Structure 1
């Protein structure tokens, strides 16, 4: 029967190797181990076995469903013998077992890959059948058929992507065993032989796992790229982020959002880094001495003095919402590219001392309404402080938070950005 089982395992392993599919990771392996055994009980009084008896081998085929769990079929065989002590009777008992076991990749479950990708730990447990056959003493030749339960731990060291070194320790409990491991006595009379587990023994082995399949790594060692990045990959990603956040032209808009990457120094830009020409006279605001009033280039963008007063154009531009200070999400600090709008309002008020301005703060619709009301007021106060710092008298300004701006589409990130602002209303 032992030869039939061994042949079946070998044929199965060859068939498995032929069918191993090309996947993200390999799932099949063949395991060959050999080492020690130790029968614990029952032993006939006066009979002793060595602490470590060389005489066990096993062969297994394992399949992993994923990186953490799998199953294996294995066949173990060997013999027990006496310890080399004075007056210790000789004995020899052969055995074999066949077990179907579940396997847990404990190293992956406990995230060992965070500190080592070459050392691993497997746990296994299952059930099977076996036979214990004493070769001498009173029960010589008796074939004691048993069932068994097995559990153990296997430490692994990856040698290559195809081979791993194994060190395993397992404990086995035999049920329905009739005869002591030494073959010199019966456990119970044969008429009462079919009671529960009555025998216990251990094995300790060294061996190799041979991984089958077309992928580059086995499930024992596979790491999903999205979960763990190498130091080099992290360094590359950080470098890319730094490059994205560069502001080469210093206009307050990062390069990856900047549609005009060579904005002249001091130019007023929109949220995409494009130079503004608020009055549409063809002269950019940073070169236009009257940025909100159209005028010819010969007068530096200002209209002739006998045409229309600047205050009328500025008042219309400001009150119609063309001049705003914008903010990032949940922030009361003006964005760099838009804070220059406060400077233009300050310049306008200095040139027109008879006007006053109300500052109106707004927020988008993300978040609680009462919180957004307070946030909008903090934004208005922040711009108020900028104008005071620019030399505008406090008596000429008021500020108020108006809460959420519901006039924009809150599903659009661009629209929400327009809502996060402080606007101005010029009052005579």
Structure 2
């Protein structure tokens, strides 16, 4: 008995103290779940002890002592957090002997009310993903009852502790099947469950067990109750946001062309390796002839001075054909950016110096927006670059403009990466 009372008291204290702590430390994101439930249920209430000689509630000839539907009740539950809550229940129990059991006839009944703490065991142990629609609630607290004995025509007010567990199965977002098995212990119970006065050896104590099955209905402004809702923790949300910001910073600090200038500051994201750039990442071209000064110097010193014209031409063609020289565009814009003038000028100079050469211009768009519009925009970008070269004196017959469509080679969620694919590239044809 002492061990039993200690167990009940410990569970009762644990439920209420932790429920209070949960209000302060829970990491749920506001009221993203419903908190209230109403339960209705019915089942069997069976007094365990005390009984007078000749009285008992079970039928020894039946499995589990026979079954009677003699307990009916309703309960309201409010969850302080997804793990802890409070519950109030109202119940009616009727105790009679089973016909043919051999017990003397008796009839007693009681009304009782319970005030309990509730623990959502599934959430407590983090098993939401594993159990799916199933759930398990643990509960314990105080109960007060009023028992009436027909035998003595006497009423008695009792009180004690209750502890139990409630398996659940969710039918819909608001309706669940709920079972329950509870053990009650009364203090200062003078009457036996058969209605007679208890023997002195068992006076002041009474125990009973209740097994019920019913329905649980949840309500509130949200779609689903906290027993079942998927709830994100504040800390997880903060970590996710922090990771996002770190990712943005990493993207900002990318240096695609390895010129020492981060992409977010780089006005020319395709500068040649080893060529000097200014603070905005643009290749230095003091004489504005469209050829970076260091490249021009290299050509003069290494090629012109050695009269190796074929090598000079092949190297420049390689730079153009492999996309090192390209025109870039702002979002939804079909005209090249001002910074692209140097690259278009590079191609212009090549065409002027190689009158038999032709060039194919391919326009691209990024993945953001309507696909059909992006396809058209890619074609328009190529045509506009062609128009610039024509106005610069290049015969239209040497220029072929086409739309190459959408370039999906970069992360479409990165603004800086998308800048690299809003472009027109060139290919020398002879």
TM-score, structure 2 as length reference: 0.50
Q: What is the Cα deviation at residue 287 of structure 1?
A: 3.1
Residue 184 (structure 2) pairs with residue 153 (structure 1): no
- 1:3-402 matched pairs, under 5 angstroms: 23-50=31-58, 51=65, 52-136=67-151, 139=152, 141-188=153-200, 195=204, 198-226=205-233, 259=266, 263=270, 266=273, 274=281, 276-277=283-284, 283-284=291-292, 287=295, 289=297
CA distances 1:204-234 after superposition (whole Å, capped 9, x unpaired): 11111111211122222232235799xxx9x
Q: What is the Cα deviation at residue 57 of structure 1?
A: 1.3
Distance 1:159 1:37 in 2: 26
Change (3 A) 1:299 1:157: same
Change (3 A) 1:165 1:281: farther
Distance 2:266 2:107 in 1: 87
Q: What is the Cα deviation at residue 154 of structure 1?
A: 1.0
Distance 2:268 2:225 in 1: 48
Q: What is the Cα deviation at residue 150 of structure 1?
A: 0.6
Partners of 1:178 and 1:188 within 8 A in 2 = no
Change (3 A) 1:256 1:132: farther
Q: What is the Cα deviation at residue 252 of structure 1?
A: 9.9
Distance 2:259 2:182 in 1: 66
Distance 2:221 2:233 in 1: 22
Q: Secondary structure in 2 aligned to 1:107?
A: helix
Q: Secondary structure in 1 aligned to 2:82?
A: coil
Distance 1:273 1:115 in 2: 54
Unaligned 5+ runs, structure 2: 1-29, 59-64, 306-430
Unaligned 5+ runs, structure 1: 1-21, 291-296, 304-428
For 1:390, the equivalent position in structure 2 comes to none
Q: Secondary structure in 2 aligned to 1:143?
A: strand
Q: Secondary structure in 2 aligned to 1:104?
A: strand
- Please state which structure has a larger fraction of its residues in helix: 2
Q: Secondary structure in 2 aligned to 1:53?
A: coil
CA distances 1:11-52 after superposition (whole Å, capped 9, x unpaired): xxxxxxxxxxx9322211111111112210001223221334
Q: What is the Cα deviation at residue 156 of structure 1?
A: 1.3
Q: What is the Cα deviation at residue 117 of structure 1?
A: 3.5
**RMSD between aligned residues:** 4.3
Q: Secondary structure in 2 aligned to 1:182?
A: coil
Change (3 A) 1:249 1:40: same
Q: What is the Cα deviation at residue 90 of structure 1?
A: 2.0
TM-score, structure 1 as length reference: 0.50
